[in-house]
């Protein structure tokens, strides 16, 4: 078993990965919420005893589609910024305490 220590993360590298993860999560959440809003605006008023046209001003479909577009972008940007900040903070503390140690095994 070999021990390795992660002394430093590439800030841009971590930011890109976190941004992509955020984009995928935002896409999943955005589609779920967007479809829910669209379904509510089309069918939901009758199912829940309300008037969907009045609840969303008749623009529920546009709001749902907008949410499907905005959520992945928002989550991706927040993930990118958060990943960059996290990598910078890790690099600062790794200099002070030495970084993370991992144990690896060569299987060949």
Residue 33 located in a structural domain: yes
Residue 103 located in a structural domain: no
Domain of 52 in residue numbering reads as: 19-88
Contact 63, 41 (CB under 8 A): yes
Lowest mean pLDDT among 16-25, 45-54, 82-91, 98-107: 45-54
Residue 69 located in a structural domain: yes
Write down the pLDDT at residue 58.
62
Residue 38 located in a structural domain: yes
Residue 70 located in a structural domain: yes
Total domains present in the chain: 1
State residue 99 phi and psi, 5-degree precision: 90, 180
Residue 5 located in a structural domain: no
CA 98 remoteness from chain centre: 29
Residue 108 located in a structural domain: no
What's the whole-number mean pLDDT along residues 5-27? 96
Residue 42 located in a structural domain: yes
- Condensed to tens digits (0 to 9), the pLDDT of residues 46-91 reads 555 555 555 555 678 888 899 999 999 999 999 999 999 999 999 9
Write down the pLDDT at residue 18.
98
């Amino acid at each position: 078993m070999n021990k390795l220590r992660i002394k430093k993360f590439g800030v841009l590298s971590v930011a890109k990965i976190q941004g992509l993860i955020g984009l995928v999560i935002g896409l999943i959440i955005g589609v779920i919420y967007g479809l829910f809003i669209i379904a509510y605006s089309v069918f939901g008023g009758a199912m829940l005893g309300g008037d969907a046209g009045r609840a969303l001003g008749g623009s529920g479909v546009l709001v749902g589609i907008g949410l499907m577009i905005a959520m992945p972008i928002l989550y991706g940007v927040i993930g990118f910024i958060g990943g960059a900040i996290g990598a910078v903070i890790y690099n600062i503390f790794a200099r002070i305490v030495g970084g993370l140690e991992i144990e690896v095994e060569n299987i060949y």
